[in-house]
Amino acid sequence: MEELKGLPDRELSEVLGLIRAKRATYHKPLAFVQELMGFRYLGSMEGNHFRYQMQVTDDLLNRYGLLHGGLMTAFIDTAMAETAFLIDQTVERALTLNMAVDFIRPGMPGPLVADIHVVQNSKTIIVFQGSVMDKKEQLLATAMSHFYKQPHRPS
């Protein structure tokens, strides 16, 4: 508690948000990570396209002042998994089997948008294709992934 004294209100608010998200992980496992990323579902577009946003803050930058590539990958992976839950309510777990990410431009501070396209949705596997754009609508990364759909188990 001593370390919180003297922090600006904005930072205290961020810390409170992270504490709440940490507590939420008991019911929603990725709540903390999603809060850290500023992860938001923006809605579905025509067909099998879904859109998500991430907010790149200074806390997510590497030593070169760029978004860490692993965090860009985590953003894409999280968006794809969330899409699996949206399109198939029988899914209890969406597990990444593989993912290939191509980095085109570095992520900079500000909002990023991931567009996720459902390529194939079979009984047990979903194939996704995704892209990430910055606020200038420049392509930053593309990805292709296969997810295993683990169904709800009978109680």
Residue listed under structure tokens 């894409």: 76
pTM: 0.81
Residue type, 15: V
Give the three-state DSSP class for 151: strand
DSSP codes joined into one string, 25-81: TTTSTTHHHHHHHT-EEEEE-STTEEEEEEEE-GGGB-TTSSB-HHHHHHHHHHHHH
Span 69-89, pLDDT tens digits: 999 999 999 999 999 999 988
Of the candidates 143, 74, 71, 78, the one whose C-alpha atom is nearest the C-alpha of residue 104 is 143
**pLDDT of 3:** 73
pLDDT beyond 80 at 112: yes
Fold of the domain spanning 38-151? Thiol Ester Dehydrase; Chain A (3.10.129)
